[in-house]
Amino acid sequence: MIGSVRISTNALRRNAQALRALVAPAQVAFVVKANAYGHGLVPVARTIEEYADALCVYSVEEGLFLRKAGVSVPVIVMGPVPVERLDEALAQQLQITLWDDGTYLDTVANTARRRGTPFRVHVKVDTGVRRLGLDPAQAPKAIERIARTPGIEIGGIFSHLAAAEELDSAFTLAQVATLENVVHAAKFERNPKPLRHIAASAAAMLWPQTRLDLVRIGIALYGLWPSKATRAAMPSDIQLEPALSFEGRLIAVRKIEAGSTVGYGATFRAPRPMRIGVVPFGYADGIPRALSNRGAFVVAGKRCPIVGRVCMNMTMVDLGATNARPGERVVLIGNDGEAAITADDWADWADTINYEIVARLPAELTRTYDG
């Protein structure tokens, strides 16, 4: 493949240090699910492990990959763990999530008793997102039952915020209050009082009262802001450095006449004689098809608009006044001199969020890691 995704490990470290200092004295769990938001699960985890009190993943497979790679920091699996993987999870000291106190709890407890090792769990309360979690009204009694269950150790009680990117959100404060009320109502006779956590990146930065005992930092670790409002609200001395850049090379340059069409569906018609560059990446490589006739890449230090539809593995750009030739460097995300393209640019063109842009970059893309 002519090109690669580059990750700055120094940027990751600086972001981790800055965010840890910002939320202190709360502990920090860095979120490395979804291949570390497209940045590479194991390399990112190794890079920032020393700054983390824990790492959060979605699947047990991600947790096991980290353990196989020698990552020893506590790992919290936020998604469902199949019954058949519980033995492996416990053997590798992965902490898992519970959101009911029924049959699955008994299975988890039986696994712990059979292995003679307590299973550390984080209990989720649904405070308003309506995905997973205990109903707040039943949560205190359910948590008490979980805490009394032999073989189970509650490491945390948590929830997820729905609207933390908003600068004035009564809903956010209500969610925090709901979680606090649940924790206050539950009695922990045998189990030490667990960590409370509800804040992800936006809340951890915008809402100090949401930090509680631990925050879960995802998108901000990678140098991307959770929202434009978050960025605007933060003091200027709080800086995040995007860790990811995406570069390639032109594989062909075509001269076309005025009136010629470009790409599938003939959605672009040349208004004049043009030089068209072919970039060897398309929607199979993470470039949203929505960038067709809307986005741009940087070629020879200048922004060059995408023309025609983004193809599965190729994208065409208008080389304009550049003298670019085959082999010229193309910056898809990143900068070349004063010209830059960001993940936020892609997100704006595709009418989505920067989370999706980086998380959808295929694992098969070559990734290189440097300072």
Residue 2 lies in a domain: no
Asked if residue 190 has pLDDT above 80, the reply is no
For residue 104, indicate whether it is catalytic: no
Residue 329, both tokens: 């460097």
**pTM of the shown model:** 0.96
Within 8 A by CB and 6+ apart from 170, the residues are none
Residue 239 lies in a domain: no
| Distance between CA atoms of residues 216 and 111, nearest Å | 28
Name the active-site residue from 193, 264, 302, 355.
264
pLDDT in tens, 93-117: 999 999 989 999 999 999 999 999 9
Residue 250 and residue 225 share a domain: no
Residue 180 lies in a domain: yes
| Terminal-residue alpha carbon distance, the chain | 23
Residue 294 and residue 225 share a domain: no
Name the active-site residue from 33, 37, 124, 222.
33
Position 189 scores a pLDDT of 73
Give percent of the chain above pLDDT 90.
91
Last residue of a domain, which of 233, 256, 279? 233
Residue 214 and residue 75 share a domain: yes
Residue 359 and residue 251 share a domain: yes
Last residue of a domain, which of 205, 233, 261? 233
How far from 65 is each of 51, 71, 145, 212, 227, CA to CA, in Å?
A: 19, 9, 32, 29, 30
Residue 24, both tokens: 């202190």
CA dihedral 300, 282, 34, 51 (to 10 degrees): -10
Domain span at 190? 9-233
Position 235 scores a pLDDT of 81
pLDDT in tens, 37-47: 999 999 999 99
Strands 329-336 and 296-299: antiparallel
Residue 104 and residue 69 share a domain: yes
For residue 264, indicate whether it is catalytic: yes
Asked if residue 3 has pLDDT above 90, the reply is no
Residue 256 lies in a domain: yes
Give percent of the chain above pLDDT 70.
99
Asked if residue 168 has pLDDT above 90, the reply is no
Residue 279 lies in a domain: yes
How many domains does the chain fold into? Answer: 2
Position 188 scores a pLDDT of 80
Residue 218 and residue 94 share a domain: yes
Residue 226, both tokens: 């959770």
pLDDT band at 76 (very low <50, low <70, confident <90, very high): very high
Residue 19 and residue 140 share a domain: yes
- Residue 348: CATH number of its domain: 2.40.37.10
Residue 192 and residue 279 share a domain: no
Residue 298 and residue 200 share a domain: no
Q: Identify which has the larger pLDDT, 190 or 156.
A: 156
Residue 354 lies in a domain: yes
pLDDT in tens, 50-75: 999 999 999 999 999 999 999 999 99
Position 157 scores a pLDDT of 98
| Distance between CA atoms of residues 310 and 329, nearest Å | 19
- Residue 57: CATH number of its domain: 3.20.20.10
Q: Measuring CA to CA, which residue among 221, 119, 128 is closest to residue 176?
A: 128
Asked if residue 1 has pLDDT above 80, the reply is no
Task: Write a three-state SS string for the chain.
Answer: CCEEEEEEHHHHHHHHHHHHHHHCCCEEEEECHHHHHCCCHHHHHHHHHHHCCEEEECCHHHHHHHHHCCCCCCEEECCCCCHHHHHHHHHCCEEEEECCCCHHHHHHHHHHHHHCCCEEEEEEECCCCCCCCECCCCHHHHHHHHHHCCCEEEEEEECCCCCCCCCCCHHHHHHHHHHHHHHHHCCCCCCCCCEEECCCHHHHHHCHHHCCCEEEECHHHHCCCCCHHHHHHCCCCCCCCCCEEEEEECCEEEEECCCCEECHHHCEECCCCEEEEEECCCHHHCCCHHHCCCCEEEECCEEEEECCCCCCCCEEEECCCCCCCCCCEEEEEEEECCEEECHHHHHHHHCCCHHHHHHCCCCCCCEEEEC
Residue 352 lies in a domain: yes
Residue 4 lies in a domain: no
Last residue of a domain, which of 233, 257, 291? 233
For residue 63, is it left (φ>0), alpha (ψ between -120 and 50) or beta? alpha
Mean pLDDT (whole number) for 146-168:
92
Residue 252 and residue 217 share a domain: no
Position 191 scores a pLDDT of 63
pLDDT band at 292 (very low <50, low <70, confident <90, very high): very high
Residue 281 and residue 200 share a domain: no
Residue 254 and residue 166 share a domain: no
pLDDT band at 237 (very low <50, low <70, confident <90, very high): confident
Asked if residue 89 has pLDDT above 90, the reply is yes
